[in-house]
Amino acid sequence: MAQTLELAGVEKAFGATRVLHGIDLRVAEGEMIVVVGASGCGKSTLLRIVAGLEEPTAGRVRIGGRDVTALEPADRDVAMVFQNYALYPHMTVERNMAYGLRIRGLPKDEIARRVREAAVLLGIEALLERRPRQLSGGQRQRVAMGRAIVREPALFLFDEPLSNLDARLRVQMRAEIRRLQRRLGVTSLFVTHDQTEAMTLGDRLVVMHAGRAAQVATPMEIWAKPADTYVAGFIGSPSMNLLEAELAENGAAARLRAGPSLLFADGKRPGPDGRRLLVGVRPEHLRPAAACAGGQGGALEVSLELAEPLGSESVLHGRLPSGEPLTARVPGLVPAGEGALRLAIPPAEAHVFDAESGARLDPFG
């Protein structure tokens, strides 16, 4: 039966090195939360604390309202799927899936029922007598998931389970994981460094940065309104452009170092003139300047340095007169080579951040 998961002020230090800085999170019953961030941000340590494989320096972990902070992993009613599958090479698929249940002393007929149902669910009934060395990477991942499913846990924990698969299998398996999680309704915590996995799998995301939760929100909320410049640059491919600017016109506009100004929504005044800003725009939101004629966005003069044709679209890399790099993603094919472009930022697609703190401002309404 699905349970809630609560983290309250969870901290972790290894000696003098603080890895986690006061993580607070509540996961609802049946919810899939994806913890995403770059290597070294603390996401795997957080997962290991939930699993009971690491002890927090401070804070509490509760599953289904029960404080499990001091409990051993076996007493927490969680099941974990690892990056390396962690299958026993000398055992068959059936014995791998059943091993944890045998250790717990469940009756043989109950073990057989659970293994059979999980195998049918995962489409691996024909593999039950094989050993791990006889399986492909995707099949091994299904077995690892089956071993977790038969536990019928209160909480699923996934530690980068798709990292060892090729690109095609990753797409297939993440869709399968999401389908299974919804069907089973088990509360889940999934750790990854891959933002595509995060965006497609999570009901909500926890974007980790330097041991802190930089933002906790739905994938589309994070996409539309990143909380700070780190989140803005991490979520999205290619990354969001962040351009230097300052407040101007009595606080009514952002004047880009590269030239043009962007007018804010009526009544929006995020500070005095001269305040340093960063204006963000995603590469796919840049438009030919002619398409924005008469609007509030001025033209950016871009020296094109590289065009990457991707078939239905092209990714353009250029440089502004200020020396700042700029990336645009445009429909169709653009001939490779150097050249000049005039692009504009539609104000409705612009993001504004404080240059000092990196925090989001919302002057465009």
- Fold matches, 5-233 and 239-361: no
Written as one letter, the residue type at 55 is E
What is the tens place of the pLDDT at every residue in 126-167?
Answer: 999 999 999 988 899 899 999 999 999 999 999 998 888 888
- List of residues 6+ apart from 102 with CB closer than 8 A: 111
What is the tens place of the pLDDT at every residue in 168-187?
Answer: 888 888 888 998 899 889 99
Residue 295 pLDDT more than 60? Answer: no
pLDDT confidence of residue 296: 47
Written as one letter, the residue type at 130 is R
Residue 359 pLDDT more than 90? Answer: yes
Topology of domain 239-361, CATH:
OB fold (Dihydrolipoamide Acetyltransferase, E2P) (2.40.50)
The domain locations on the chain are: 5-233, 239-361
CB 207 within 8 A of CB 36: yes
Bridge-partner residues for 204, per DSSP? Answer: 33
- Tell me what the pLDDT averaged over the chain comes to: 90
Cα–Cα distance for residue pair 141/110, rounded to 1 Å:
23
Residue 109 pLDDT more than 90? Answer: yes
User: How far is CA 108 from each of CA 95, 111, 214, 334, rounded to the nearest angstrom?
Assistant: 12, 5, 47, 64
CB 132 within 8 A of CB 143: yes
- List of residues 6+ apart from 207 with CB closer than 8 A: 36, 37, 213, 214, 215, 216, 222, 230, 231, 234, 235
Positive or negative torsion for Cα 290, 291, 294, 298: negative
CATH class of 5-233: alpha beta
What is the tens place of the pLDDT at every residue in 54-67?
Answer: 999 999 999 999 99
Strands 313-319 and 325-331 turn out to be antiparallel
Q: What share of the chain in percent tops pLDDT 90?
A: 65
Residue 325 pLDDT more than 90? Answer: yes
- pLDDT mean over 34-53: 94
Residue 337 pLDDT more than 80? Answer: no
- pLDDT mean over 193-201: 92
Strands 313-319 and 299-309 turn out to be antiparallel
Whether omega before 321 lies within 30 degrees of 0, making that bond cis, reads no
Whether omega before 153 lies within 30 degrees of 0, making that bond cis, reads no
Residue 275 pLDDT more than 80? Answer: yes
What is the tens place of the pLDDT at every residue in 211-236?
Answer: 999 999 999 999 999 999 999 999 99
Q: Of the candidates 159, 154, 158, which has an alpha carbon nearest to the alpha carbon of residue 75? A: 154
